Amino acid sequence: MEKRLQETAKRHMPKDQRLAHAIAAFISGGAIGGSGEVLLMLYQESLHMPKQQALSLVIVTFIALAAILTGLGLFDQLAQRFGAGVFIPITGFANALASSALEGKSEGLIYGIGMNMFKLAGSVLTYGIVSAYFIGMLRYLFLGGAS
């Protein structure tokens, strides 16, 4: 009986589509990167900005776009369709912050949105700072104080 149940379950399991998922992530991540390059050139040319300032504006644009799409409920649909290609860039982090903030909106600005927004960001910042400290110490120990 148990063997028959396992065979039935195996027949009804969804097919593993790793290659299709990898291709979708590759294409969507490439599209985000390519559109970032187009925005960079557009900001540099039309706003007459130096590259570094235009790059900052591109990042802010992607963060704002991801937050807006999250608020409209569209980012999750894109992420289900395109996977890691959408989540890996800065858009994934913006989505995480915006969705955490939206979860707490019923509790008010301070105790809801403000506290929930930094649930994820707090841990990311903490581990980022700790990692940077240890890598800096290792670099100092093995390479000396020279930059």
CB environment 116-145: b (16+ within 10 A), e (fewer): bbeeeeeeeeeeeeeeeeeeeeeeeeeeee
Q: How many domains does the structure of the chain reveal?
A: 1
Residue 49 lies in a domain: yes
Query: With DSSP H G I counted as helix, E B as strand and the rest as coil, what are the percentages for the chain, rounded to 5?
Result: 85, 0, 15
Structural domain contains residue 5: no
For residue 102, what are the domain limits?
17-143
46 part of a folded domain? yes
- The structure's pTM equals 0.67
The DSSP H or E segment spanning 147 is none
Distance CA 58, CA 109 (A): 28
| Helix or strand run (H / E) with residue 88 | none
Of the pLDDT bands very low, low, confident and very high (cuts 50, 70, 90), residue 134 is very high
Domain for residue 77, yes or no? yes
Nearest to 86 by CA among 41, 36, 31, 35: 31
Determine whether 45 is exposed, middle or buried from the number of CB atoms within 10 Å of its CB (0-12, 13-18, 19+).
exposed
Q: Residue 147: its pLDDT value, please?
A: 56
In a domain, residue 7? The reply is no
Q: How confident is the model over 116-137, as a mean pLDDT? A: 81
Residue 66 belongs to a domain = yes
**Is residue 2 a part of any domain in this protein?**
no
pLDDT in tens, 54-106: 999 999 999 899 989 988 989 889 888 888 888 777 888 788 778 777 777 77
CA angle 25-27-29, nearest 5°?
A: 65
Residue 44 lies in a domain: yes
